[in-house]
Amino acid sequence: MEIIHVSAECYPYAKAGGLADVVGTLPKYQQQLGHIAKVVIPMHRTKFLYENEWTVEHKGGFAMGNNHFDYTIIKEKTNKLNFDLYCVDIYGLLDRENIYSYDDDTERFCAFQIAVVDWLASWEHRPDVVHVHDHHAALVPFMMRHCFAYRHLASVPTVLTIHNGQYQGWMSWDKSSYIPGWDTWQWGKLDWDNMINPLACGVKCADRVTTVSPSYMEELTYNANGLEQLFVMEKAKCTGILNGIDTVVWDPATDTYILDNFSTKDIEAGKELNKKKLCKDFNLDIKMPLFIFIGRLVGEKAADLLPQAINDSLGTMKNKMNFLILGSGDPVVESQLEAIKSSFVGYYNSQIGYNEKLAHQMYAGADFILMPSRVEPCGLNQMYAMRYGTVPIVRSTGGLKDTVIDFGEPKGYGIRFNNATVWDITYSIHRAVELYDDKEKLAEIREQMMQIDNSWEVSAGKYINLYNSIR
Ligand code: ADP
C-alpha cells in the first residue's frame, strides 16, 4: 500500500513537538510492515535541509487569491529516514527558519496544501491513502473532493489524525478565495461558527479521523475548543490510536546524547552517572530527588502552575528535592521560572529554550518528570521518561491516563493525580519524595517501567487496518 503523510513537522527535519516525532517514526514502521510510506512537509530552512542532498521531483504553479505561486517538490536523496521525505518549496512563503508563528501562517499553510494536492494530481497513479496530520494539512481532504481541478483525486481514501485539537487554523470567510475553485454548495463543510475551520473541515471530509490516544478521543466530545458537538456527531468514524515511541532514537543503551549508556541490567549505576553530570552542569545536589519538566510553557501543559508549585514545594521541603526545567512559551511563565533561580540556588535551575540534547540528558538523569497537563492528546515525554527509568507524575488526562498507572494500584509504576491545581502537584511531589526514600521500591519501579513496550509496532499495525477498512 502507498501511504502519503502530509504534515507541518517531521523529526529530525523540523520539530516543535510530538507531531514531528510521530510523523518521523510512524512511516518508518509502516515501511517495515512492507508498505510504501512517504512524507511531505513544507521546506523549512532548518539544519537538516542544508546538511542533506535533495533532488527536484516536480515543479508546478497555482493561483491563490490574487496571487500566483510557483512551487517545487524536492526529495531527500539517500532515504536517510528510511522513508521518502519530500518538501514543498514556495519561494518567500515556506522557506523560513521557523515552522509556525508568522503573521501569514494562514496563507503559508493554504499554499502548502494546494501545492501538495496539485502535485498528487499530477501523478500518473493514485496513492492508496492520503493521511493528513493536524489543521495545517486538514483542508487536503476537502480539496481532493470539492476543488474542481482536483476532483479526480476524490476517490482516494483520506485519514485525518488530530495530534492537538486546541489549534484549528481558523480563517475568516474573506479568505475563502485561498481555496482553489471549489464547489460552493459545499460551503458547510468548511464552516464552523461562521469561520472557515480547517480542523473541523478535515473531520467532516476525511474518511476516518483518529486521535493519538483513546482517552483523548473521548475527551474531545466534551472538551474540544468549540468542536465538541462535531465530535459527537462524527463519533462513528473517529477512533483513538495510541502513539508509540521510536525505540531506536530513544534508547538509553545507545543514545549518543547522554553521558553514560545504560539498560535494565545497570539502571541504578547508569542513572546515577547521568544525574551526576546533570546536577554538576546545573548546580544541583545529586543526593536529592531530581524533578524535571520538559515542554512548551503553555496553559495546555499547565506550565503556569509550575512556578507556584515549585515555590511551595521548595518553601516547605527545601533540602529534600531539586528541580530542573527546560522549555519555552508564555513569556510570563518564562520569567517566573527564571526568577525562582535566585530564591533557591542549588535546588532549582531552568533553561528557557529548545534543546534536544539536553532533553535526552534530562530523561536519563532525572528521578521524576512532572506532567500536570490540562490537555494531553497523547504525550510522548512520559513514554520517553519511562524508557529511561524516570517516574512520570501526571494528571489523569488523555494519553497520560492511557499510559501511566499509579504505583498505588496493582502493577502500577507512576504517580497520577486528578486536578490541574498547585495543591495536587505539590501533594504528588510529596508522594514522590517518599517513594525516592524507599530505594527498593524505586528500583523495582524503574526496572518495570524500562521494560514497558511503548514501541510503534502495535499502533502502526492499527493504522494499516484502518486504511484497509476504507480502501
Ligand atoms: P507536544 O507535542 O504537545 O508539545 P508531546 O509530549 O507530544 O507534546 O511531545 C513533546 C516532544 O517535544 C518531546 O519529544 C519532548 O522531548 C520535546 N520537547 C518539548 N519541548 C522541548 C524543549 N524545550 N527542548 C527539547 N525538547 C523539547
Indicate if ligand 1 lies below 6 Å from the C-beta of 372. Answer: no
Ligand 1, closest atom to CA 356?
Answer: 25
User: Ligand 1 mean position to 175 CA, how many Å?
Assistant: 32
- CA–CA distance, 382 with 374 (Å, rounded to integer): 15
Average pLDDT on 346-361 reads 97
User: Ligand 1 mean position to 108 CA, how many Å?
Assistant: 23
User: Ligand 1 mean position to 147 CA, how many Å?
Assistant: 36
Indicate if ligand 1 lies below 6 Å from the C-beta of 296. Answer: yes
User: Ligand 1 mean position to 21 CA, how many Å?
Assistant: 9
Average pLDDT on 154-175 reads 98
% pLDDT > 90, the chain: 99
Average pLDDT on 365-378 reads 98
The preferred substitution site among 134, 334, 381 for testing ligand 1, maximizing ligand atoms within 8 Å of CB, is: 381
User: Ligand 1 mean position to 12 CA, how many Å?
Assistant: 13
Q: What is the pLDDT of residues 282-325, one digit of tens each?
A: 999 999 999 999 999 999 999 999 999 999 999 998 889 999 99
What separation in angstroms does the CA of 23 have from each of 106, 303, 434?
A: 21, 25, 39
- CA–CA distance, 55 with 44 (Å, rounded to integer): 16
Indicate if ligand 1 lies below 6 Å from the C-beta of 99. Answer: no
pLDDT above 90: residue 281: yes
Ligand 1, closest atom to CA 22?
Answer: 7
Strand partners, 326: 294, 351
* Smallest CA separation from ligand 1 atom 21, residue: 295
Indicate if ligand 1 lies below 6 Å from the C-beta of 305. Answer: no
Residues sharing a CB contact under 8 Å with residue 57, sequence separation 6 or more, in sequence order? 73, 74, 75, 86
Domains in the chain, start-ordered, CATH in brackets?
A: 2-244+457-470 (3.40.50.2000), 267-450 (3.40.50.2000)
Average pLDDT on 129-136 reads 98
Ligand 1, closest atom to CA 164?
Answer: 3
Mean pLDDT of all residues belonging to the chain: 97
Pair 173, 39: CB distance under 8 Å: no
Average pLDDT on 203-216 reads 98
**In this predicted structure, what is the pLDDT of residue 114?**
98
User: Ligand 1 mean position to 297 CA, how many Å?
Assistant: 10
Average pLDDT on 434-463 reads 96
Strand partners, 10: 14
- CA–CA distance, 144 with 205 (Å, rounded to integer): 10
- CA–CA distance, 456 with 346 (Å, rounded to integer): 39
- CA–CA distance, 436 with 289 (Å, rounded to integer): 7
Indicate if ligand 1 lies below 6 Å from the C-beta of 430. Answer: no
The preferred substitution site among 351, 358, 380, 390 for testing ligand 1, maximizing ligand atoms within 8 Å of CB, is: 380
- Dihedral sign from CA coordinates of 417, 423, 426, 430: negative
Cell numbers at 174, concatenated: 474573506
Q: What is the pLDDT of residues 21-53, one digit of tens each?
A: 999 999 999 999 999 999 999 999 999 999 999
- CA–CA distance, 94 with 273 (Å, rounded to integer): 43
**In this predicted structure, what is the pLDDT of residue 150?**
98
* Smallest CA separation from ligand 1 atom 18, residue: 295
Strand partners, 132: 6, 160
Indicate if ligand 1 lies below 6 Å from the C-beta of 380. Answer: yes
Pair 24, 10: CB distance under 8 Å: yes
Indicate if ligand 1 lies below 6 Å from the C-beta of 17. Answer: yes
User: Ligand 1 mean position to 187 CA, how many Å?
Assistant: 36
User: How many residues does the structure list for the chain?
Assistant: 471
- CA–CA distance, 309 with 325 (Å, rounded to integer): 13
Pair 308, 333: CB distance under 8 Å: no
Ligand 1, closest atom to CA 327?
Answer: 23
Ligand 1, closest atom to CA 212?
Answer: 7
Indicate if ligand 1 lies below 6 Å from the C-beta of 21. Answer: yes
Name the burial class of residue 127, with classes exposed (0-12), middle (13-18) and buried (19+) by CB atoms within 10 angstroms of its CB. Answer: middle
Indicate if ligand 1 lies below 6 Å from the C-beta of 292. Answer: no
Indicate if ligand 1 lies below 6 Å from the C-beta of 356. Answer: yes
**In this predicted structure, what is the pLDDT of residue 317?**
87
Which has the closest alpha carbon to 372: 424, 437, 450?
424
**Reported confidence tier of residue 234, pLDDT bands at 50, 70, 90:** very high
Average pLDDT on 133-152 reads 98
**In this predicted structure, what is the pLDDT of residue 318?**
82
Q: In what order do the strands lie in the sheet with 208-211?
A: 54-64, 67-76, 84-89, 36-42, 2-6, 129-133, 158-162, 208-211, 238-240
Ligand 1, closest atom to CA 296?
Answer: 20
How many CB atoms neighbour CB 106 within 10 A?
17
Average pLDDT on 258-270 reads 97
Question: 142-157 as b/e, with b when 16 or more CB fall inside 10 Å?
Answer: bbbbbbeebeebeebb
Indicate if ligand 1 lies below 6 Å from the C-beta of 277. Answer: no
User: Ligand 1 mean position to 60 CA, how many Å?
Assistant: 35
